[in-house]
Structure 1
Amino acid sequence: MQNQMIRVTKEFTFDMAHALFNYDGPCKNIHGHTYRLQVTVSGYANQDPQNVKCGMLIDFGQLKKIVTEKIIDKYDHALVLNEAVPASLRASCYAISEKVHFVAFQPTCENLLLDMKFKLQTAFEHDGFILQAIRLYETPTSWAEWCKEDQPKAFQ
């Protein structure tokens, strides 16, 4: 069989709370979402008939392991807030949640997506795969996505 570039996608679900610091709408309050994350990698399937991974681009278990270690373990059932939250309020955040992450950006769907993209891209490139696309659903009808093919070369 001729070896051609293919894409493989796996979907993940996790629950996370966040608040948008200094935002002018209701999302300034702590609230949560059930996020869906779709991760697509591309490459060439293994064509070595002697290899146990023959016919696979990536074992779905390996894909799951990478995404779980880099993203899900950190964000699932966590409270994510901008590090601009005053230090005087941080202690109270830990009083209501054991799993609090302060990030250097406003934790919008778009910024979370780009943070996840960076973490995953580094991991997949190390393993010889290309991160082709990542899509983060904040609600069943609202999402942000990043696609390699949409980017100027400097941002791929």
Structure 2
Amino acid sequence: MSTRIFKETHFDASHRLMHYEGKCSRLHGHRWEVEVWMEGTIDATSKILLDYNIIKQVVEVYDHQVILNKDDPMVKALSPFQLPVLTDGDPTSELLAEDIRARLNRFCGEAGVDARVTRVRVWESDGCYAEVDAE
């Protein structure tokens, strides 16, 4: 039997889009809202699929951070003061949704938890979100 769970959380972080022409090419911040759907088999003893706090902890890697493309020249300038969270490409809401999905699936695999992400939605602002579904 498969069980589904849902968790909503958020983080505050800044980012910039190196390959975008417009305001978002400048460093700026958001309160990012994250929604995660997961499914799998509940643990026979605890009767829990995955502790909701684990989802929150995985997302908190971005909280109060600067998120930058690993190739952004700003990385070198910022690193003596704060190590940014680096992404393979511009840190768009689309890329962050995929990154969160991958991080959670990797955690479950390494922890031996029979759970997988079915959907992640990352809200960059009111009315604007990106969503990825299971592959």
| Distance 1:90-1:144 versus aligned 2 partners, 3 A rule | closer
Specify which of 45, 49, 52 is matched with residue 58 of structure 1: 49
Aligned-partner Cα distance in 1 for 2:85–2:42: 37
Aligned-partner Cα distance in 2 for 1:135–1:112: 9
Q: 1:80-115, CA deviations, whole angstroms, 9 ceiling, x for partnerless residues?
A: 1112223xx4343246x6252232211111011111
Give the percent of matched residue pairs that are identical in Structure 1 and Structure 2: 24
Unaligned residue ranges in structure 1 (runs of 5+): 149-155
Specify which of 38, 42, 59 is matched with residue 71 of structure 1: 59
TM-score by length of 2: 0.83
Shift of 1:21: 0.8
| Distance 1:146-1:90 versus aligned 2 partners, 3 A rule | closer
Match of residue 33 from structure 2: 36
The alignment partner of 1:144 has SS state of: strand
Q: Which residue type is aligned with residue 7 of structure 1?
A: R
| Structure of larger gyration radius | 1
Higher helix share: 1
Specify which of 85, 98, 102 is matched with residue 101 of structure 1: 85
Specify which of 75, 82, 91 is matched with residue 90 of structure 1: 75
